[in-house]
Amino acid sequence: MSSWSREQLDMRHRTVKVGGAILLATSGVGATSATAAEVYYQPMVTLSAETNSNIDLDRGKQPQVQGYLADVSTNIGIDTPDSTTTIRPRAVYRYYPKDPGDDRLEGYLDFISSYRTQRSITSIAGTVLHVDEFNAEFTTATFNDVNPNQPPADTGRTVVGATRDSAVLSPKFVYSLSPTFGAGASGQYQIVNYSPSDNTSHRNFDYYQARAFLNWAASQRSEWTLGGLGSKFETRNVFSQATGSGAFLGLNSNWTPLLTSNVELFYQRTRVDTDIPTPSRAEVDRLGGSFDLSYKTGLDRFHFIARRSVAPSGGGGVYTTNRVQFQYDRAFTARFSMTGAVVGIRTHGLTPNLGGDDRKYAQTLIEAHWFLTSRLFLQSGYQYVWQKYQNDPESAANNRIYLQIGYQGLGQQR
């Protein structure tokens, strides 16, 4: 049995502490009206078989790899007259008979909680992960249905048998100054620890962002937001820092009860001070923004985002990240539905010394879902993943086909 170094134990301890703090904070937001709380549980268990043409996205010809997965999760809901909380713990065991380096027991925890008074809304959302690097470093085409706006922090580089521990915490507070004006603040904290970490492509980091803003309800259907932001990125073990500040302008529109959109433009100046991979000292200005559109009916649901952001990465710095993502779900009958999703990402180092991690990445997915009974279901799908680094002459791709059988408990009964 290999021994843990003091540094690895410290990093694990930090991630566990962050996870504990997140759970405490989540419980605190939704506990105010606990005397009238309604608690419900929705368990889900799936067993899967899959085949992959290039599971580790290695360049060149790779052998076909078959795998078997067991996935157990539970949606826990806590509702009161003033608050709503959703918590989803999940465990996944992956077994690949001919590729044991990718065998892994993984843990996931997603949550979102909000508390409302007559004049304010307080919310907190987050994710805690202990996963294989392959599943951590590649953004999935489908949105996280508990936290669809959780930011990706991937590099696309993986080490067989390595894991990544990470946590994201996103609190927000909005106060109504009048029927049309409000003020608020929001934040984001990310911690990422690689095991093992290295000084070439996987660097442990902390990232902080804070926002303060004013809201103006121009009408019953639209609301403007104007504010300022500050951020800080810092790696451990090897010196790299990036400090940013800027401003943003947003417009949130409720076109109908079923169709909403959010548009945001931002400016950020980032001061970079790093020794990764070579020393660099610079100040960089960036313009960016996002467009978010969602639509939901009883039969259809789609979600589209187009976003240009300044985002942290385990590559050792902050990157300009362009991301387009779309998901469409369609229920053809009460028991049969399909999902189609695609995501495309292009990253570019904020400073020239990070050019080695500039990459293009895409993932597509299509899957069908049949309920055999009210609780038992079959699911099958096809997933395609493609990636290319700017400095590499070859790209890499994986074709994945999977079949699942599962049990899903009934949701909240009203």
Cα distance between residue 341 and residue 3, in whole Å: 42
- Reported pTM: 0.85
Residue 314 CA, chain-centre distance (Å), reads: 15
Cα distance between residue 93 and residue 72, in whole Å: 9
Q: How confident is the model at residue 414 (pLDDT cuts 50, 70, 90)?
A: low
Tokens (6 digits) for 244: 């940013």
As a whole number, the mean pLDDT across the chain is 87
Enclosing H/E stretch for 19? helix 6-30
User: Is the separation of the CB atoms in 148 and 294 below 8 Å?
Assistant: no
Amino acid letter, residue 83:
S
Residues 6+ away with beta carbon under 8 Å from 100: none
Distant-in-sequence contacts of 255-262, Cβ < 8 A, 24+ apart:
255/221, 258/295, 258/296, 258/297, 259/293, 259/294, 259/295, 260/293, 260/294, 260/295, 261/291, 261/292, 261/293, 261/294, 262/290, 262/291, 262/292
User: Is the separation of the CB atoms in 241 and 283 below 8 Å?
Assistant: no
pLDDT at position 6 is: 42
User: Is the separation of the CB atoms in 66 and 96 below 8 Å?
Assistant: yes
Q: How confident is the model at residue 207 (pLDDT cuts 50, 70, 90)?
A: very high
Cis peptide bond upstream of 312, omega within 30: no
Tokens (6 digits) for 384: 């395609």
User: Is the separation of the CB atoms in 169 and 150 below 8 Å?
Assistant: no
Is the pLDDT assigned to residue 30 strictly greater than 60?
Answer: no
pLDDT digit string, tens, across residues 294-306: 999 989 999 999 9
Cα distance between residue 348 and residue 92, in whole Å: 32
pLDDT at position 199 is: 65
Q: How confident is the model at residue 156 (pLDDT cuts 50, 70, 90)?
A: low
DSSP helix/strand/coil, 36:
helix
Q: Which of 86, 73, 7 is CA-nearest to residue 40?
A: 86
Tokens (6 digits) for 373: 């009974």
**Mean of pLDDT values over 366-380:** 96
Strand-pairing partners, residue 63, are: none
**Mean of pLDDT values over 176-186:** 96
Cα distance between residue 17 and residue 11, in whole Å: 10
pLDDT digit string, tens, across residues 268-292: 999 999 887 778 899 999 999 999 9
Enclosing H/E stretch for 133? helix 133-136
Strands annotated E in 177-299: 181-195, 205-217, 222-235, 240-254, 259-274, 280-296
Tokens (6 digits) for 220: 């019953």
Q: How confident is the model at residue 314 (pLDDT cuts 50, 70, 90)?
A: confident
Exposed e or buried b for every residue in 372-396, given b needs 16+ CB within 10 A?
eeeeebebebebbbbbbbeeeeeeb
